[in-house]
């Protein structure tokens, strides 16, 4: 099963450069309650390594590149993020890992909920057991 779901983002191009608007509930299939970004990831560094019970996210690589592994407890897919004009959907109950960051990579995350540590599953075996029980 291919877990990779892209959302093509509108890109308004003119002689001054590009503008990419993202509107909650319109461009992406959820309202946006939180925005955060990852930057300054050290060479060889990795992020993620968790899933969420309820959170939906869109991940956009607005500079540089990295690889992302998605895992639903049964299938795994890997993808390269290197474009600012499309986002990768990370639904709830999908384990995700980000790695192979190039220098100066910036990952923008649009999230459907406020931050809640209790929504995280940080243990892979627990995640696999929960997802396979469904």
34 interacts with ligand TYD by CB under 6 A: yes
Distances (CA, A) of 1 to 23, 48, 52, 71, 77: 29, 21, 20, 10, 8
Q: What angle do CA 78, 52, 98 make, to 5 degrees?
A: 30
Site for ligand TYD in 44-63 (CB under 6 A): 47-48
Binds ligand TYD (CB under 6 A): choice among 28, 38, 89, 108: 38
Is residue 26 a contact partner of residue 110, using CB atoms and an 8 Å limit?
Answer: no
Active site residue 50: yes
| Shortest Cβ 11–ligand TYD spacing (Å) | 26
Applying CB under 6 A, the residues found at the interface with ligand TYD are 34, 36, 38, 47-48, 115
């Amino acid at each position: 099963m291919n877990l990779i779901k892209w959302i093509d983002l509108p890109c308004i191009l003119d002689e001054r450069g590009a503008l990419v608007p993202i509107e909650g509930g319109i461009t992406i299939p959820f309202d946006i309650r939180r925005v955060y970004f990852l930057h300054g990831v050290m060479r060889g560094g990795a992020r993620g390594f968790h899933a969420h019970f309820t959170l939906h996210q869109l991940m956009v690589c607005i500079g540089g590149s990295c690889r992302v592994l998605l895992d639903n407890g049964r299938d795994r897919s890997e993808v390269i993020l290197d474009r600012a004009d499309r986002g990768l959907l990370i639904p709830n109950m999908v384990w995700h890992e980000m790695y192979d960051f190039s220098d100066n990579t910036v990952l923008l995350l649009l999230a459907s909920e406020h931050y809640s540590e209790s929504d995280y599953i940080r243990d892979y075996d627990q995640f696999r057991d929960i997802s396979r029980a469904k």
